[in-house]
Amino acid sequence: MASTADSAATGERRSASDVAGVVVLAVCAAWSLITAAAHDGRPEGMLLAVLAVAAGYASGRILGALLPVAALCAGALAGLGLAIATPGPQISLQLGHTGATTALLTLSCGAACCAAWAARPPALRLALRLGAAGTAVTAALLGSTTGFFTCTGVLLCSLAAARARRRGPGLTGLVASAALVTGATWAIGEDALPGGLTESLEGQLTEHRVLLWHDALRMARANPGLGVGPGRYGELSPTVAQSLLPDGKPHSAPLQQAAEQGLTGVVLLATAFCWVLYALLRSPRTTPIALTTGAALTAVAVIASIGNALSFMTVTAGAGLLAGLATARPLTTGEPYDVLTPAGRSDSHPVS
């Protein structure tokens, strides 16, 4: 009887996270339409991003239930293939594809690590972890230094997750990490850091990108409520106007939201990220899978804070797919899953 009650309570909490996700995505779409109407903006980009996340998440839930290991393996291979198919480093730098390449490699590594935790045979687990390590090597070969570090970080977090008894503290730490990077990005854009530190970071980020951030925050200060309208940053940015190959983006998702959709847009973006981590907190899959997915998605959030990764549908759909795979309840009987007890402790039991 107690087990039945615990399962019912867990199901109610998962339903609550699903409802929260629908509400958050719907509000994000509605706010983009409101701000577009106020300033004659173009909300299509935001609407496509919301649709890509929703479609990826729904597909992940379905595939994760039917093929809990194979779907993760296929996702890892697809992400790696898309990253390799992206134009080379020099062309990517000109067209703004570097963030997308890095994010896809990170998602691919996260999916491979999750597949390793979901697999039963030790030989298969080892092969999948070697594949995840190979993704980091591929990032280095493609010239993506950031991708190498993010893939390595996801792999190390995945291995460390084996010792985690509870997923809550780990996911909280991931939220704090994303907030710290976003705050640092905002501080650089506001010139709020000490001079020596700012110069050092500008050398890594390039002066052009920092100028783009200055423009975004200038627009946010002028229009804190509704922003300048979705898709209008490129029209109003002096730095973009002076660029030889402009892509019309500030190369920072939070700052783009602040400029185009005001502070409410930033709050909605943060809420969407927190919802995904909350869904992982309530996921029936094992704690290592939840924490590994959280680490991969946090790495993508960090990449999006200093780049334009979320401007590509392959990245937004891939992030949603990985989140869906990691929150699905497998229908097969071969994989263990976690049951959240009333005391908040996460125990692993075989599916029955």
DSSP 2-28: HHHHHHHHHHHHHHHHHHHHHHHHHHH
For residue 288, what pLDDT is reported? Answer: 96
For residue 183, tell me if it sits in a domain. yes
CA dist 286 and 114 (Å) reads 10
For residue 195, what pLDDT is reported? Answer: 66
For residue 350, tell me if it sits in a domain. no
CA dist 150 and 101 (Å) reads 12
For residue 168, what pLDDT is reported? Answer: 93
The angle at the Cα of 301, spanning 151 to 94, to the nearest 5 degrees, equals 80
For residue 340, tell me if it sits in a domain. no
CA of 338: how far to CAs of 6, 39, 326, in Å?
12, 48, 12
In this structure, the chain runs to a length of 352
For residue 193, tell me if it sits in a domain. yes
For residue 161, what pLDDT is reported? Answer: 94
Mean pLDDT by 10 residues, the chain (352 residues): 47 76 96 93 94 97 95 96 70 55 95 95 95 95 90 96 91 96 91 73 79 94 93 90 78 94 96 96 94 97 92 94 95 54 40 32
Give the bridge partners for 350, in sequence order.
336
The whole-angstrom distance between residue 185's C-alpha and the CA centroid of its chain comes to: 17
Q: What residue numbers bound the domain in which 16 lies?
A: 2-332
| Nearest of 28, 71, 112 to residue 295 by alpha carbon | 112
For residue 106, tell me if it sits in a domain. yes
The whole-angstrom distance between residue 154's C-alpha and the CA centroid of its chain comes to: 12
For residue 344, what pLDDT is reported? Answer: 41
CA dist 67 and 60 (Å) reads 10
Burial class (CB within 10 angstroms; exposed 0-12, middle 13-18, buried 19+) of 74:
middle
CA dist 224 and 264 (Å) reads 8
For residue 342, tell me if it sits in a domain. no
For residue 294, tell me if it sits in a domain. yes
The residues, ordered by sequence, that sit 6+ positions from 224 with a Cβ below 8 Å of its Cβ are 262, 263
Q: Looking up tokens 């993010």, which residue turns up? A: 150
| Nearest of 269, 254, 251 to residue 307 by alpha carbon | 251
CA dist 212 and 236 (Å) reads 11
| Nearest of 340, 283, 349 to residue 6 by alpha carbon | 340
For residue 5, what pLDDT is reported? Answer: 46
Number of domains into which the chain is organized = 1
For residue 94, what pLDDT is reported? Answer: 40
CA dist 236 and 213 (Å) reads 13
For residue 198, what pLDDT is reported? Answer: 67
CA of 313: how far to CAs of 49, 52, 80, 325, 338, in Å?
6, 6, 15, 18, 32
For residue 348, tell me if it sits in a domain. no
For residue 342, what pLDDT is reported? Answer: 36
Q: Looking up tokens 């809420």, which residue turns up? A: 271
- Side-chain-side CA neighbours of residue 61 (13 Å): 15
